[in-house]
């Protein structure tokens, strides 16, 4: 043994040299051009009317920011116009507040009755700060103390996407699957309802949608073989009113006589069972961890469904309904009205849970009530929200996993070269698993008519592997290595014209843009970068108007509000993390490119640029 030790001592192996480098970008000629694969049922008719949300879904701005989406239309448009491209260079931090949690902060600060509310990543602490007093002192802090073990079933950092203030309550979810309503006066829980079960891999990370006396929520866990659901709770009591599963028999999915899907492949009985191998629907994913949208004008609810599980698609032949699509439901009964599947039999982890923006928009010579959805699979969908018909679908990022959307069948035209294979690595699939765009929401300005899309420019190599289902553990079955998309910039902010179906300007970012955007009446778009710059750009041109370096990367949702003094303020949380930033916020080794579901391969340099953090920043013009 002493000999062994002696020999060891002779050996110096400089392992620090083994560091991952960010891989080369996918060549430009590997992806399709927008003009090649974008389709619409009719040519643009911009003269047929002005694109804007209805008054019912986007009432006159009261200067508050009571829900993450700002309004039911989900425009994230603040009409405040004190801060403009001309004076933005004067913006300065007014106060900051440490969240005491150094994990990915994805929430929107909520402003109601001159109080600002923040919920942190796990352990989901809620703070209420008094905006009427200097330095915004603490009114109360609420610590829900979620189960520690919930961290072990959260796929992609322990994030939370925010709460909502309504009727004197701040309502939010916890990682261990609770929905909690806090009395904003006392800071005590009015009710707390346990919905998710961490023992089967369920967590909750989404921001509840609160409307018409109900709280709409959904579960996370598509990487752990959960069965997805959306639940409506009574806002006053927290009691469950209805639950709609994303898989299984029609009775469980709340598909009945009102269900009129537009496309033939969605018509039939119990497709949530028959489009799966036997029993696979019970562990088939389809959760709802993104955005549920309430339509006050049409009395409808829209929500996406997440990816099917496992990621290894060879284990689940069939369309795998009703995953990776959008439901329209009756908010009172939960009964489905229509469904549209963006990615039937998803092979690339293209969850359908991104935001829906509700607009009145000219199309085919007349005004249509549309839902604009920016999907992980890379397409901007403009959908007639009265019936679920796709009017146009155009790529907004690099795409080669499909060759466009067939507007007759509604289905993507699959590119066989980029279908994932068992035991074989398929290279340069675009977009990557986290999509051309992930959960972080876009904004829409009725002044410019543009949608400001924060998104990714990333692709991947993928090998599917057989995986066994073990309750409470990951159910993935794929080894993924992500890489930059064409050009090498991993992120973009795109100003998209939904009528003309094309980008008006694009700002390239080195890292994926994982923050939301807010657009203002002063024609500024605010967003944050993962290396910690909080930026304002001109909404008409994309020109940088101002930037400020905060303490950690930004992956949250900025907001704009009117303070007690009548002036405009901008608030944002710093705190890098989430799936894309887990290499900084989690105990992850950048030498493993397959770590964090392959994200580390393309983000291994992030630790050079930022550290974990978690701070509320509020900015204003000089006072």
Partner 1 sequence: MCSRFPVELLLAGTLLAGCYKASPPAAPFEQSNRQGAIDSAFSPGSDHSVVVNDPRAAAYYDNAEAVNTGRILFGQFNCSGCHSNGGGGIGPSLMDDEWIYGGRLEQIHQTIVEGRPNGMPSWGGRIPDQQIWQIATYVRSMSLPQTLAAQNGPTPSQSPAPVPAAADQTNGWSLPPQTTNDYTTTTKGPD
Which residues are tagged catalytic? 223, 307, 349
Task: From 135-143, 197-205, 207-215, 558-566, give the range in contact with partner 1 by CB under 8 A.
Answer: 197-205
Tell me if 9 contacts partner 1 by CB under 8 A.
yes
How far is the CA of 454 from the CAs of 370, 374, 437, in angstroms? 21, 10, 7
Nearer to partner 1, 6 or 623 (CB): 6
Nearer CB in complex with partner 1: 36/471: 471
Token pair, residue 505, equals: 């300007």
Q: Can you read off the two tokens belonging to residue 365?
A: 């010579």
Q: Is 11 in the site for partner 1 (CB under 8 A)?
A: yes
Cα→Cα distances 102→151, 391, 557, 574, 614, Å: 14, 43, 17, 10, 5
User: What's the residue count for the chain?
Assistant: 623
Question: Quick one: 467 or 499, whose CB is closer to partner 1?
Answer: 467
Q: Is 283 in the site for partner 1 (CB under 8 A)?
A: yes
The Cβ-side half-sphere exposure at 92, using a 13 Å CA radius, reads: 5
Q: Residue 373 or 483: which CB sits closer to partner 1? A: 483
Number of residues that bind partner 1 (CB under 8 A): 66
8 contacts partner 1 (rule: CB under 8 A): yes
Binding flag, residue 46, partner 1 (CB under 8 A): no
Stretch that binds partner 1, among 90-98, 355-363, 553-561, 601-609 (CB under 8 A): 601-609
Beta bridge partners of residue 293, listed in sequence order: 302
Q: How far is the CB of 154 from partner 1 (least distance, A)?
A: 7
Rounded least distance, CB 424 to partner 1, Å: 15
**Spatial separation of the C-alpha atoms in residues 391 and 363, rounded to whole Å:** 8
Q: How far apart are CA 388 and CA 481, in angstroms?
A: 35
Residue whose CB is less far from partner 1, 10 or 188: 10
| Residue 515, CA distances (Å) to 14, 203, 454, 580 in order | 38, 22, 7, 11
Of 205, 208, 214, 173, give the one whose Cα is nearest residue 192: 173
The stretch among 19-27, 64-72, 396-404, 563-571 that binds partner 1 (CB under 8 A) is 19-27
Task: Indicate whether 23 belongs to the interface with partner 1 (CB under 8 A).
Answer: yes
Shortest spacing between CB 29 and partner 1, in angstroms: 24
When asked if residue 29 is in the footprint of partner 1 (CB under 8 A), the reply is no
Q: Could you tell me if 170 and 117 are in contact, meaning their C-beta atoms sit under 8 angstroms apart?
A: yes
- 327: its two tokens: 């439901």
When the beta carbons of 58 and 482 are compared against partner 1, the nearer one is 482
User: Is residue 75 helix, strand or coil?
Assistant: coil
What's the sign of the alpha-carbon dihedral 211, 107, 125, 289? positive
Is residue 149 near partner 1 by the rule CB under 8 A? yes
Contact map string, positions 476 to 515, toward partner 1, x by CB under 8 A: x--x-x----------------------------------
DSSP state of 270: S
Give the pairing of strands 39-40 and 389-395.
antiparallel
- Closest contact distance (angstroms) between CB of 220 and partner 1 is 12
Q: Does 19 bind partner 1 (CB under 8 A)?
A: yes
Do 472 and 201 form a contact (C-beta atoms < 8 A)?
Answer: yes
Mark residues 559-598: x for contact with partner 1 by CB under 8 A, - for none.
-----------------------x---xxxxxxxxxxxx-
DSSP letter assigned to residue 227: B
Q: Please list every residue from 402 through 431 that binds partner 1, using CB under 8 A.
A: none
CB 491 within 8 A of CB 480: no
Binding site for partner 1 (CB under 8 A): 1, 3-5, 7-16, 18-20, 23, 147-155, 197, 199-200, 223, 279, 282-283, 465, 467-476, 479, 481, 582, 586-597, 600-601, 605, 607-609
């Amino acid at each position: 043994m002493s000999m062994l030790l002696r020999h060891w001592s002779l050996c110096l192996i400089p392992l620090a040299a083994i560091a991952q480098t960010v891989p080369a970008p996918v060549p430009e000629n590997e992806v399709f051009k927008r003009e090649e694969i974008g389709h619409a049922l009719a040519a643009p008719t911009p003269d047929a009317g002005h694109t804007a949300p209805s008054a019912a879904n986007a009432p006159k701005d009261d200067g508050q920011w009571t829900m993450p989406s700002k309004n039911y239309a989900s425009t994230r448009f603040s009409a405040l116009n004190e801060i403009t491209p001309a004076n933005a260079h004067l913006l300065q931090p007014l106060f900051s507040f440490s969240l005491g949690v150094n994990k990915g902060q994805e929430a929107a600060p909520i402003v109601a009755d001159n109080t600002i509310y923040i919920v942190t990543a796990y352990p989901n602490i809620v703070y209420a700060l008094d905006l009427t007093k200097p330095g915004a002192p603490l009114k109360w802090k609420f610590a829900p103390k979620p189960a520690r073990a919930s961290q072990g079933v959260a796929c992609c950092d322990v994030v939370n996407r925010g709460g909502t203030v309504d009727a004197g309550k701040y309502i939010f979810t916890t990682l261990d699957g609770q929905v909690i309503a806090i009395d904003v006066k006392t800071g005590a829980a009015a009710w707390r309802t346990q919905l998710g079960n961490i023992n089967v891999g369920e967590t909750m990370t989404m921001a509840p949608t609160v409307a018409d006396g109900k709280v709409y929520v959904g579960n996370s866990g598509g990487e752990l073989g959960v069965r997805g659901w959306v639940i409506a709770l009574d806002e006053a009591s927290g009691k469950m009113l209805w639950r709609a599963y994303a898989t299984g028999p029609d009775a469980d999915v709340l598909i009945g006589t009102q269900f009129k899907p537009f496309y033939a492949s969605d018509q039939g009985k119990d497709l949530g069972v028959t489009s799966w191998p036997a029993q696979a629907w019970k562990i088939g994913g389809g959760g709802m961890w993104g955005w549920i949208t309430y339509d006050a004008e049409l009395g409808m609810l829209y929500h996406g469904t997440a990816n099917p599980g496992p990621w290894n698609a060879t284990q689940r032949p069939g369309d795998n309904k009703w995953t990776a699509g959008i439901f329209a439901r009756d908010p009172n009964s939960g009964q489905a009205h229509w469904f549209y599947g963006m990615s039937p039999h998803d092979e690339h982890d293209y969850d359908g849970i991104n935001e829906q923006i509700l607009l009145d928009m000219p199309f085919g010579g007349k005004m249509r009530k549309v839902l604009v959805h920016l999907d992980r699979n890379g397409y901007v969908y403009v959908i007639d929200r009265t019936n679920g018909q796709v009017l146009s679908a155009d790529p907004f990022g690099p795409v080669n996993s499909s060759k466009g959307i067939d507007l007759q069948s509604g289905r993507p035209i699959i590119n066989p070269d980029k279908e994932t294979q068992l035991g074989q690595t398929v290279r340069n699939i675009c977009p990557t698993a986290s999509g051309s765009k992930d959960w972080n929401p876009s904004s829409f300005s009725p002044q410019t008519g543009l949608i400001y899309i924060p998104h990714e420019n990333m692709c991947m190599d993928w090998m599917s592997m057989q995986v066994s289902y073990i309750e409470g553990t990951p159910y993935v079955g794929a080894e993924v290595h992500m890489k930059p998309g064409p050009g090498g910039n991993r992120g973009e902010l795109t100003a998209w014209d939904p009528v003309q179906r094309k980008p008006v300007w694009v700002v390239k970012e080195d890292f994926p843009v994982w923050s939301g955007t807010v657009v203002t009446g002063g024609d500024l778009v605010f967003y944050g970068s993962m290396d910690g710059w909080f930026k304002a750009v001109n909404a008409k041109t994309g020109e940088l108007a101002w930037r400020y370096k905060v303490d950690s990367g930004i992956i949250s949702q900025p907001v704009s509000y009117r303070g007690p003094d009548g002036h405009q303020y901008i608030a944002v949380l710093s705190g890098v993390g989430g799936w894309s930033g887990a290499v900084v916020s989690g105990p992850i080794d950048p030498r493993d490119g397959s770590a964090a579901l392959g994200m580390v391969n393309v983000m291994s340099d992030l630790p050079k640029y930022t550290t974990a953090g978690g701070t509320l920043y509020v900015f204003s013009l000089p006072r």
